Structure 1
Amino acid sequence: MLGLDADRLRADLNRLLAFLFHQGILDEQYLQLQQLQDESSPNFVSEVVNIYFHESEKLLRNLRSLLMDREFSDYDKMGIHLNQFIGSSSSIGAKRVRNVCVAFRAASDQNNRAGCLRALELLEHEYCILKNKLHELFQIEQQRLLAAGVRYPMLN
């Protein structure tokens, strides 16, 4: 019975991954990240992605704060935050988030405040989709590991 549940969960996992690639939410960099995970670091991908989420939320707060300032004119500072976001999104394979950041950066380079505000809204939307889908993916993976009876050594 355990094996059947694990097989069903593996199929669910593969379907969700295929959906994320088909929708352009993730790209091949995510698969490269997965290849770095092994028995010695079974939570590598989720740990890297959680660091990404933590840093991304700080960047989103900083971007929103900059744009909400009535006296805002520091597009260079915004560009620095966006470059960080582009780099970290690229490193985990967050394709749509990265693409929105690139468009956001173009609006910032043109000192286009209205374009930046629209891009920020879209960025927050795409980031939310990515976060929800990756959490769903990690939950299925955890259920699959439990169903397969995978045991990791207990730490003392």
Structure 2
Amino acid sequence: MDGYLDEQFVQLEELQDDVNPNFVEEIVTLFYRDSTRLILNIEQALEKSSLDFSKLDTYMHQLKGKTTRCKRTFQQLKKEYSTLKKKLETYFQMLYRSFVQFARQIGPVETACRSSY
């Protein structure tokens, strides 16, 4: 796969997690399903004796649009991922500070020992 997949694909893989373990497969499957249909339409249009350039142009634009939308969707996904990450980091920092403040208020905690009688 060397030379075919770029850094964006690696970043897409990094967004896959236990909650959505098939994320990359789903995105790629959707892209290829639509692209395959468009490529078939283009091939069929090219095989005709009289070419309908208007139809070919439409198919080409649709194919280009799929590629562009795939990239745009990925960029939006990266942005949302980054925003979520920052918000969660802030949340956990606040939670930690609250815990530390609470621990200071209650003071040292002594461990209870069972009596041996």
Task: State TM-score, norm by structure 2.
Answer: 0.49
Q: State which structure, 1 or 2, has the greater radius of gyration over its C-alpha atoms.
A: 2
Larger RCO (CA under 8 A, 6+ residues apart)? 1
Task: State TM-score, norm by structure 1.
Answer: 0.38
